[in-house]
Chains A and B, each alone.
Chain A
């Protein structure tokens, strides 16, 4: 059940898991064909009601101090009085009796949204359960977006042709079997025809491409791998004006950043 924060919005935190039975399980003689009912497999479980204190960070804090292409992260705490998220509770609604383990844990896809608009899309990287007194459980969860997984993907040896930045990214993602959604700019730079050695890390290679373009690489808030071109001069077209004069969206605090 989504959680409402007064004056802020309605928030949903979902985990893609294989627990049973899902809320929309297909039931013989009851469920309709061609409905949204499912026979099994993973479904998005809404776990919002158990979540406390969500934090999300995507992108970088200073373009002169940090590289682009860092994984986005999210963290939250699960308040678990019923031990539904305990790794030992075989009666948990999220317990997968086929795999004989809790189906929410490391590598489980997670998405966080506000009023139906995603804020983060990634997967669990750490799942740290704690038993508290008198007798309830909390779980501290951290997540990263897809870029985190690129470091474990190794490229096969291949030749390349001279290509624009965006074309090379698409070619490399294709060769790595990455089928997720992409939003790749053409880019300014032209990449040379340098062979890729067997076993090269996908993330390492993307960083080298990023080093040629100096644009931005990130996973969008809805999970789309995005590569933007070098920022060229452009006309004023702000998406929003933040102001302390009452003429725009009010902000609370700010800092002076420097190069």
Chain B
């Protein structure tokens, strides 16, 4: 899959918005609303607007747009509204817009229930003491006929639940996908393979 394209033609992306004078605690703030859209291939991020002056009562808002043309060709345009942030520079806005692209639907293993009472003491502590932001690996095997027969995903812990009763403690691990790669090893790792990186 080709890398998403970041549209750097900022000069063409200037607009006057109704809440251009929004300050940090404006009631009319703009957030990126978490969406049920599985694909987001056009993201607009505005930097913090200038304050209005007597010479310019309605200052314009500058924003960056990141697009993924391959995704647009496949799924059509799925675009976020322009979101006004507190970011300082258009480069920051562009980097965030690029980061928020979701060119294809993502699927991953999550909601993993682990019962402590079947684990070794060391593993009990390992699971009970997991923290948000830590990286975990999840391996799932499938019956014959499924290819591949074993899938391992590297994921981040996004949430942790505990259900503690008189006879069990079940830890639920909620995960999120991330860009995680194996270290590139000379004479071993393949070139042009996104699974390996130099760090």
Contact = CB atoms under 8 A, between A and B. Distances in A.
A254 B112 contact: yes
B16 interface: no
Interface in A47-78: 52-67
B174 interface: yes
Interface of A: 5-9, 11, 52-67, 114-115, 117, 119-120, 155, 162, 188-197, 199-201, 204-205, 207-209, 211-212, 214, 216, 218, 220-221, 226, 228, 230-245, 247-259
A206 B115 CA distance: 35
A59 B157 contact: yes
B136 to A, nearest CB: 5
B164 A53 contact: yes
18 contacts: A5-B166, A5-B168, A53-B164, A56-B160, A59-B160, A61-B174, A67-B31, A190-B89, A208-B29, A211-B31, A221-B160, A230-B96, A236-B182, A238-B137, A242-B138, A249-B114, A251-B138, A259-B106
Nearest to B110: A257
Given A234-B180, A249-B126, A254-B109, A205 B25 contact: yes
Contacts of A191: 86-88
Interface stretch (B6-14, B52-60, B66-74, B97-105): B97-105
Interface string B124-166: 1111111111111111110000000010001011111111111
A208 B109 CA distance: 29
Contacts of B85: 208, 211-212
Contact of B181 (A208, A235, A239, A242): A235
A52 B167 CA distance: 11
Contacts of A249: 114, 119, 123, 126-127
Contacts of B61: none
B179 interface: yes
A209 B142 CA distance: 42
A58 B99 CA distance: 24
Contacts, number: 282
Contacts of A239: 126, 130, 134-136
Given A61-B110, A190-B92, A255-B110, A245 B150 contact: yes
B128 to A, nearest CB: 5
A115 B125 contact: yes
A231 B156 contact: yes
Interface of B: 23-25, 29, 31-32, 34-36, 38-39, 47-48, 83, 85-89, 92, 95-96, 99-100, 102, 105-119, 123-141, 150, 154, 156-170, 173-183, 197, 199
A235 to B, nearest CB: 5
Given A61-B174, A194-B86, A242-B114, A214 B96 contact: yes
A205 B182 CA distance: 37
Given A58-B160, A241-B137, A193 B117 contact: no
A196 B161 CA distance: 35
A221 B125 CA distance: 14
A58 B173 CA distance: 10
Contact of A214 (B38, B100, B114): B100
B104 to A, nearest CB: 9
A200 B25 contact: yes
B102 A64 contact: yes
A207 to B, nearest CB: 7
